[in-house]
Structure 1
C-alpha cells in the first residue's frame, strides 16, 4: 500500500463536495500528461453502517428486491461516492468535476453482504491515464468486513480535452464502427418516467443537475434530463440477476434521456440497455461472470 491514509469520522457531505467541485471546475485546464500528486492517497471510513430507509428507496428505484438483509451488488458504489467526490473536488485534483463522464465500472463481490453489517470503506484515485479523447481518472472503492476485502470496484471517469493523436488512432471524421451483427435478444422494454433521475438522486445523494430537470440539463447541453449511469447498470443487473460471488464489467456508452423507452437485452453473461426501433443506440453494455470460490480475501 502506498500513499497517505486519511481516517474519516463520517461520510463527507456529498452536496457540499459537488458544489465545491462545480465552483472549482472553471479553474482547471486539463492537458495531455497531467498528473495528480494525491494518486494513491486513501480515504478510509471505518464503522460504516447502512441507512436502511435510504437502502430501501434505492432498491425500489433500481428494481432490486426490498426487505432482505442483503446489499445489492451496486450499492457499495453509492456508499463510496461521497468519498470519491471529496477527492475529486479537492484543491489538488487537476480535472474539472463538471463534464467528468463515468465511462466504465468493474465490480467484484467476493461474498454476500449483509445490510445489517458494519464495514470499512476505502476510496482512492489509483492513477490518471491518457485516453484518446482526454484523460481518465481511475477510482478504486473497497469494502471490508472484519479486515477481509468483500467488495471492490474500479471506475473510470473521462475528462475530455485536446490530445495528440497516437499511432493507429482513427482519422477525425472516419466512419464509426459497424454495429454488432448478432445483437442480444430483447427480453423487456421499460418506459422510464421523467422523475427517475430525481428519485435515484434522492436515494443515492447524487443530485447532479443534469439528472434532475430539463431546464438544468439544458445548461449542460442535454435536451432533457438524463438517467444516472449507475442507475442504468443497477436496473440492468436487477433484471439480469447475479450470483453472490460475481465479477461484472459495464461500459456507459450513451446517455438515456428522460422520459423515454429503452430495451433490456441479455444472453447468458452479456447484457445491454439500448434504445428502441431500427437503429437502436446502445446505452450500456456489460457482462456478468461468476467468481470461482467466492471467499473474501
Structure 2
C-alpha cells in the first residue's frame, strides 16, 4: 500500500500520510509522493480545498532517522554503546531528497488545512506550519526538535512560526525544543481549534466542504496570495494589490455566479473562470 493516500470527494482533496506503524515518519519517497499529491490537487480544477492528515494515531513523527541512518535501507548500524552510527547520507548529501517541494504548500493557490491527529514532531511539525489552517485533536503533541539535534529551524520553520505566533513565543518553542500539547497550541494561536480525537477529521472535512461549496476558487487563490505576502508588504502596496484583484474579479463568471446564486437562493456553481 502507498505511503501517501489521495482522495477527492465533494471538492476536497484529502492527502493522508500512511505509515501508521511508524507514526507516519517521513522518507525520501514519501516526501516526493506527498509534494506530487499537493501539486496534483493544485492543478485539478475539481479540487477546491486540500486537507492533510495522518493515518492511525499520529500526524507525523518527522524525519525517519532509521532510514537515514541506514543509508536508506532502514538497517541502522550502531556504535558499541548502541547509539546510531550515521552514514555518509547524513548532512549535505540529504539535500537532493529533502530540500525540494516544501514551497508547493504555500505557492499552491488552494487552501490547505492540516488535521493534526496526534504527534507532529520535527518535520511533521514543519509540514503543519506550511498549511494555511490547522486543527488539532486533544491527543496532539508538538515539538520543534531542532535545537536538540544540532540544527537550526529547518525548512523555513523559524520564519513560519514567528509569523504564526509572534517572535517571543516562537523563540521559546525553538530554543527549548520542548513538547507541548494541543491545549497549549490553541492558546498560542498555533492551531485554530481543538477537537476530541474522533471528532477531528469529520469537523475538518465538513469545514473544507463548506469552503469548496460556497467560496469562489478565484477568490480563494487571490486571498491566499494576499495573506501569505501581507507581513512582507506595506499597507499601500497591499491596498493597491487588493484593488487590482477586485477589478479582475468583477470580470469573471464566478463573480456573476455568486450574485445569481444569491438571488436564486441556491448553492453557487463555481467554475474558477
Question: TM-score, normalised to structure 2's length?
Answer: 0.25
Higher strand share: 1
Report the structure, 1 or 2, having the larger helix content. Answer: 2
- Relative contact order: is structure 1 or structure 2 higher (C-alpha 8 Å, sep ≥ 6)? 1
